Amino acid sequence: MKMPKIGKFGRSAACILLVLAVFAVYELRLFQWQVLRGDEFEQISLSNRTDTIEIEAARGEILDRDGNVLAGNRSSYNIVYDALDMDYSARNATILQVLDLLMERGETWRDRLPIVLAEDGTYQYAEDSESAIATLQESLELAEYATAEDCMSALTRRYDCQGYSREDARNVVSVRYSMTQDGFSRTSPYVIAEDVSAETVGVISEHASEWPGIETRVAVTRTYGEDGSLAPHVVGYTGVITDTQYQQAVEDGNTYDAEDNISGYKWSDTMGRSGLEAAFEEELRGKRGEETIYTDGTGTVTSTAVTTAPEEGHTIQTTLDSDLQRVANLSLEKNIQSNTDARDATSGAAVVLDVDTFGVLACSSYPTYDVNQLVESIAGDGEYYNNLLADEDQPMVNLALNGVFIPGSVFKPVVALAALQEGVISSGTTYTCTRVWNYFDLSQGCLCGGGTWNLYGALAHSCNTYFSNVGLNLGIARLAPYAEYFGLGTTTGVEIGESTGTMSNPQEYRENHGVNWTDGVSAQTAIGQADNMFTPIQLATMCATIANGGVRLQTHFLDKVLDYTGETVLEAYEPVELYDAGLSSAVLGVVQTGMQMVATEGNAGTVFANYPVSIACKTGTAETSTGKNGTEPNLSFICYAPADDPEIAIAVMMEYGNTGNYAKYVAKDILDQYFGFYTWDEDGNKYDQEGNQVDDSGVIIKTAEEIAEEQAQQEGASQAQQGDSDASSGTEPASTPAPTTDRGSDIPDTPFTGESASPSPSPDSGQESGEGSSSSDGGGDDGDGGSSASAPDGPYYSSG
C-alpha cells in the first residue's frame, strides 16, 4: 500500500511542534529549579562559595654593617574596606561615618584627591599636584583646562554623592576615586587608613554590624629606629606611591593586575621615596601571595588555604657604621654651632670611607631632620614637613652627596700628583713666595708665611704661590684627566642620587663668564678655585684614592643582600675598580709624605702633631663663597689614617666656615671613635677608654666608678618605686662600655690628650726664608686664606 506524501508544510509544522515541545520541557525544568526549588539551590551555591584574597608581603629591612636596624617594620593596624562583606547601597554613608570617626579621633586617612575645599567654599586644585590633576582629568575624560569644580561635578555624579555637603561630598569621592584607581574588588580590599591606634580599632569594632565591609587588619608600618636623625639622608623613607612613580610603573608594565601581576604596584601602594629605600626598592619590596577562603551558606568561613605564598622582601645590609655616623653627626653639629657664634657657618657635611673597599662608613649632612617625624607629618597635618621645606638652610638636602662646594687647597695633592707624574716638577722643585703672586692683571694672596719652598713645604704650609706656578706650567689639558681619575667632577658610583660637581674647564668657563680661558685661570684652578665645585663624597673618594695608591674604586653603600631573615647571603658586594692613575710609588711617596707633614708641622699641627696614629691630611679654605656677611670662605679638610697603612679616609666641609680648626675637630672626633681612643653615647656624652666621662679636651668630668654608682642608685630607686622585691639581687650595675673593636696591633693604647709635642722628623721643607712666620695658631687653619692685595673682577682673586 502506497503511503500518502507529506507536503512541505506538514514537515515544517512537525519540526515546529518538536522544537516547542523541547522548549516546554526546558521551561518546566527552569520553573522547578528557579521557583519551586530556588531556595534550595541558592543554599547549595552559597555553601560552596570560594573567594581569593591577596596577602601582603613584608618589606625587607635596611641594616648597618653590624646588623643594627636602620629601617625596619613594626606591627600596626589598618582600616580596610572589604568588598566581600560590604553593602553597596550604603557604601557612601558608611565611608562618611568612618571618616568622621577617624577625624574625630585625630587619625589620618588616605586622601589623594588633588582638590581642596577653599575657605570661600569653592573647590580648588591642590598646590604642586600637576601630575595628580592630569591623572584625575584623564580618568574623568575631561579636558586639561577643566576646573576643580568641573572635576567635582563629574565625581559627584559618578559616585552618586548628590545631597551631601560640599565638604562631605569631597571626602567621600576622595575615597571612592582612590578605590577606583586602586583596582578595588572582591580580591583586593582598599586601605582607608593606616597605622591607627588600638583605641580607634576598638571603637570601630563596636560598629562592625553597622558598617558592613569595614574591617581592622594587622599590618606592618615602616619605622626608622629610636633615632630617626641618625642617617635620614642616606636611608631615605617610604610613602604612598606618587603619581610620577605610578606613571613610571605603568610605562614599565609593573602595575597591579588581578590575573597576571598581583605583585604589581597599586595606586595606593607604599614605595621607597628617597635614599636607599628608593635605590633598593626592587630588592626591599616583597611579592604578594594569595589565599582562598571557603564559606558556607551562612557566610561562615569553613576553611582557608594559601594558594600562593607571599615572598618577603630582601634585607639590605649597608657599609654604614652607626657609631661613626652618630659621632660624625654630633661633632659636625657641635663645631658648626660653635663656629656660628663668630662666623657664618650654618651647614656642612662629613664623609668617611673604608680605604680597602670604598664603602661608606659614615655620611653626615647638617642641618638634618628626623625621618620618623617626617613620615608621620606627611601622613598627617604636614606641619613638620612643610617647615623643613621652608627652612632656608635646606635640611632635607643631602649636602654630603648633593652639596657642591669650592674646595680650596684640599685639591692641591691631586695637582701635585699630576705635576710629578707629568714631569712638570720634582719633589725638589722650588718657588719663592712673597705672599702675593702676580700674573698680568691677576693678583693672588698667600698666607703661608713667605719664603722659598720645595713641594714638601708647599704642601705642608699650603703655599698658593707654589701651586699657582705649578698650575701655570702644567696646564688644564694635563690636569683635567687626573681630576676624573680621583673622582672629582664625576659620579663616585654610590647607589643614591649624587651631584657630579664641576671640574673647572675652558668650555664651561666661557659659558659661565663670557670670556675665554687664560693661563691665569689654570693657576686659579690649581689652588682649588676658579669653577671647581666638588661634593664632600667626591673629596672623600679623592682622599681614599690617594691612600689606595692612585687606584679609585666605586664608592658604595651596599655591603650585601640577605634574605628576609638575614641568615642567607644572596649577594655580596665585590669592589669595582674604576680608574688606575698609573702613579709610580715614588710620585705617591712624595705627596703622601707631604700630606703627613701637614699633620706634624703644617697647618693641621695644632690638632694632630702628637696624635697617637699617623695622619696624612690637607686643609683648605675657599674664598668665593658668599655668606650672610659678605664673602665668607668655605672650610674643608681631608685625611686618611694610619698614614703608613691606610684604613679610613675622611672629608669634612663647612659652608662659610671661614677659618679655624673646626673641620679638623670633626675629623679628629671621627678618628677617636674609629680607633677607640674615645667614644660617644647616644646623648653625645664623651668617654675615654676606661669609661670615664670627659670633656672635649679629654679632662675627666666623671669617673667610671661615679657613673656606675649613679646607675646603681637609679636602678635601685626604680626598683623600689615598682615595689620590686628583687631590688637587691646583687646584679652588678652596668658601666659605660668602652670600644672593644680591635683596629690593629699597631694602634696605640693611649688616648690622645690634646697636648702637642715636638713634630716627628720629616723631609726638609726647602724653606730658605720666612721660616718663623709660617706656623698656624689655634685659630688659624690653612695658611692660604685671604689677602689684602687688589684683584681683578670675577673669580680670579682667591687664596684657596
Q: For 702-727, give the secondary structure using H, E and C.
A: ECHHHHHHHHHHHHHHHHHHCCCCCC
Confidence of residue 533 (pLDDT cuts 50, 70, 90): very high
pLDDT at 536: 98
Q: Which of 18-27, 469-478, 644-653, 730-739 has the lowest mean pLDDT?
A: 730-739
pLDDT (average), residues 455-481 = 96
Model pLDDT, residue 42: 58
- pLDDT exceeds 80 at position 180: yes
Confidence of residue 55 (pLDDT cuts 50, 70, 90): confident
Which of the listed ranges 180-189, 214-223, 542-551 does the model predict with the highest average pLDDT? 542-551
pLDDT band at 787 (very low <50, low <70, confident <90, very high): very low
Segment among 25-39, 133-147, 595-609 with least mean pLDDT:
25-39
pLDDT of residue 755: 39
> In 3D, which of 431, 438, 439, 420 has the Cα closest to residue 479?
420
Amino acid at 467: F
Query: What mean pLDDT do residues 380-389 have?
Result: 91
Rounded to a whole number of angstroms, the CA Rg of the chain reads 35
Q: What is the mean pLDDT of residues 403-422?
A: 97
800: confidence class by pLDDT, cuts 50, 70, 90: very low
pLDDT of residue 759: 41
State mean pLDDT over 261-265.
92
The pLDDT of residue 789 is 33
Q: Can you tell me the mean pLDDT for 418-439?
A: 93
- pLDDT for the residue 590: 98
Q: Say if residue 340's pLDDT is above 90.
A: no
Omega within 30 of 0 (cis) for the link into 759: no
Average pLDDT, the chain: 86
CATH number belonging to the domain at 51-318, selected among 3.30.70.2190, 3.90.1310.10, 3.90.850.10, 3.40.50.300: 3.90.1310.10
The residues, any chain, with a CB within 8 Å of residue 392's CB and separated by 6 or more, are: none
Can you tell me the mean pLDDT for 440-449?
Answer: 80
Strands (E), 593-713: 616-622, 626-627, 630-631, 634-641, 648-655, 678-680, 686-688, 693-694, 700-702
Length reported for the chain: 800
Q: Higher model confidence: residue 65 or residue 772?
A: 65
Higher per-residue pLDDT: 693 or 770 = 693
* pLDDT greater than 60 at residue 358: yes
SS3 assignment, position 138: helix
Residue at grid coordinates 590633576: 133
Q: How confident is the model at residue 572 (pLDDT cuts 50, 70, 90)?
A: very high
Confidence of residue 640 (pLDDT cuts 50, 70, 90): very high
pLDDT at 730: 47
Q: Which of 251-265, 357-371, 614-628, 697-711 has the highest mean pLDDT?
A: 357-371
Distances (CA, A) of 725 to 720, 722, 728: 8, 9, 8
Q: Which of 26-35, 167-176, 468-477, 575-584 has the lowest mean pLDDT?
A: 26-35
Per-residue confidence band for 49, with pLDDT thresholds at 50, 70 and 90: confident
**Is the pLDDT assigned to residue 338 strictly greater than 90?**
no
In the chain, the percentage of residues whose pLDDT exceeds 70 is: 82
* Span 322-689+746-773 CATH architecture: 3-Layer(aba) Sandwich (3.40)
Residue 462 has pLDDT above 90, yes or no: yes
pLDDT tens by residue, 100-120: 999 999 999 999 999 999 999
Rounded percentage of the chain residues whose pLDDT exceeds 90: 66
Q: DSSP E strands: which ranges in 139-245?
A: 190-196, 214-223, 238-240
**pLDDT score for 374:** 95
Q: Is the pLDDT of residue 287 over 60?
A: yes
Could you tell me the pTM of the whole model?
0.83
Query: What are phi and psi for residue 443, nearest 5 degrees?
Result: -125, 120
Which of the pair, 31 or 495, is modelled with greater confidence?
495
Q: Which pLDDT does position 767 carry in this prediction? A: 59
Q: Which residues contact 470 (CB under 8 A, 6 or more apart)?
A: 415, 416, 419, 424, 425, 526
Domain ranges within the chain, ordered by starting residue: 51-318, 322-689+746-773
Can you give the pLDDT at residue 665? 96
pLDDT higher than 90, residue 716: no
Max Cα distance, the chain (Å): 150
Question: What is the predicted pLDDT for the residue at 15?
Answer: 62
Q: State phi, psi for 344 to the nearest 5 degrees.
A: -125, 15
